[in-house]
């Protein structure tokens, strides 16, 4: 690992869809990483992607990319149902892996990946990019300092209204479509960051649309000591997308929390205190920086979002889907 201290980590990207473009565009803002290879199911797509972001190498298969000896870290940006296969392929090639959320479509798949990574001492992390945004870092600092007293209630939502297209991956059950895995994981992960991923009780309701996927949902989580979280997600309903953390001595408000550019601390009897982030890029660079730091320090997971937390979040999502009677066609 000493070699990594004097140079940048070389990244390979698996997948060339929208999220891969956002990640690649942000990589120019990292100090400890650089794009080395792009992989797609066709060489034509890989070549176009590589040319757009000036990536040295392009591969027409994911297998070729993970077997490139110069690639040290792999970002998996494929649709949900392919995460397990793609991550496992990269791990078996001995690579560090950052996998786009949701980590997998269910906890059984994730348990296999975590077990393999731990047995082979390989770095593995869910790409919950919002955790690493500066306003979220500041929120954790406020919470750790007890600024709002004892946290009692978390409220978070993420919803948008997409057009009607049954073939779109978000409405396609064969691709793990629906609000929960795509949009809903953000408020669920936010509640986990604040209150933990193992609530005592879980209540939920969902609207399953014409294609059979959950188009909107509400979740209520109950924690020890009367703490609770109220969470909503949607793909056919626009929501304000704010997050609130209420404590015994005040509250924290994060406008548009998924893309957080600010966070405001409201304390009883005091003027609000606002943290503003003036970054000029989306923010995916911060999670890539975390991977680079971990590799330099010889760590196999991040303390900001641990593998155990990701497992508990996925188990929670499994329980919620079970309440709705929702299974994807590819699940056995």
Positions annotated as catalytic residues are 101
What DSSP element (H or E) covers 60?
none
Q: Which residues make Cβ contacts (< 8 Å) with residue 82, sequence separation at least 6?
A: none
> Please, are residues 54 and 25 in contact by the beta-carbon 8 Å criterion?
no
> Please, are residues 299 and 81 in contact by the beta-carbon 8 Å criterion?
no
Q: Using alpha carbons only, what angle is made at residue 311 by residues 67 and 241, rounded to the nearest 5 degrees?
A: 100
> Please, are residues 130 and 260 in contact by the beta-carbon 8 Å criterion?
yes
d(CA 155, CA 90): 36
SS3 214: strand
Q: Which residues make Cβ contacts (< 8 Å) with residue 30, sequence separation at least 6?
A: 8, 285, 288, 289, 292
> Computed from CA positions of residues 159, 231, 284, 52, in that sequence, does the dihedral angle turn out positive or negative?
negative
> Please, are residues 265 and 272 in contact by the beta-carbon 8 Å criterion?
yes
d(CA 87, CA 110): 10
Q: Are strands 124-127 and 214-222 parallel, antiparallel or unpaired?
A: unpaired
d(CA 195, CA 69): 41
């Amino acid at each position: 690992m000493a070699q990594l201290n004097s140079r940048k980590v070389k990244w390979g990207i698996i997948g060339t869809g929208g999220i891969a473009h956002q990640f690649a565009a942000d990589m120019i803002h990292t100090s400890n990483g650089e794009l080395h290879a792009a992989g797609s199911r066709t060489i034509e797509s890989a070549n176009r992607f590589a040319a757009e972001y000036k990536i040295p190498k392009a591969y027409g298969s994911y297998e070729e990319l993970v077997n490139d000896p110069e690639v040290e870290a792999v970002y998996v940006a494929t649709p949900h149902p392919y995460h397990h296969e793609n991550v496992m392929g990269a791990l078996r090639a001995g690579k560090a892996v950052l996998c786009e959320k949701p980590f997998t479509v269910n906890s059984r798949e994730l348990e296999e990946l975590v077990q393999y990574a731990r047995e082979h001492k390989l770095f593995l992390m869910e790409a919950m990019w919002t955790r690493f945004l500066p306003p979220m870092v500041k929120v954790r600092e406020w919470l750790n300092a007890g600024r709002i007293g004892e946290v009692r209630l978390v409220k978070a939502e993420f919803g948008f209204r997409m057009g009607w297209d049954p073939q779109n991956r978000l409405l396609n059950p064969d691709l793990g479509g629906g609000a929960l895995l795509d949009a809903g994981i953000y408020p669920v992960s936010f509640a986990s960051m604040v209150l933990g991923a193992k609530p005592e009780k879980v209540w939920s309701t969902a609207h399953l649309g014409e294609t059979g996927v959950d188009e909107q949902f509400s979740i209520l989580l109950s924690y020890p000591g009367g703490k609770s979280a109220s969470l909503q997600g949607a793909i056919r309903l626009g929501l304000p997308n704010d997050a609130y953390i209420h404590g015994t001595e005040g509250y924290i408000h994060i406008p548009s929390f998924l893309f957080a550019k600010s966070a405001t601390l409201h304390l009883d009897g005091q003027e609000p205190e606002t943290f503003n982030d003036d970054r000029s890029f989306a923010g995916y660079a911060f999670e890539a920086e975390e991977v680079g730091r971990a590799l330099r320090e010889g760590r196999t997971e991040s303390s900001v979002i641990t593998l155990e937390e990701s497992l508990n979040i996925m188990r929670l999502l499994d329980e919620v889907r079970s309440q709705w009677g929702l299974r994807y066609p590819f699940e056995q």
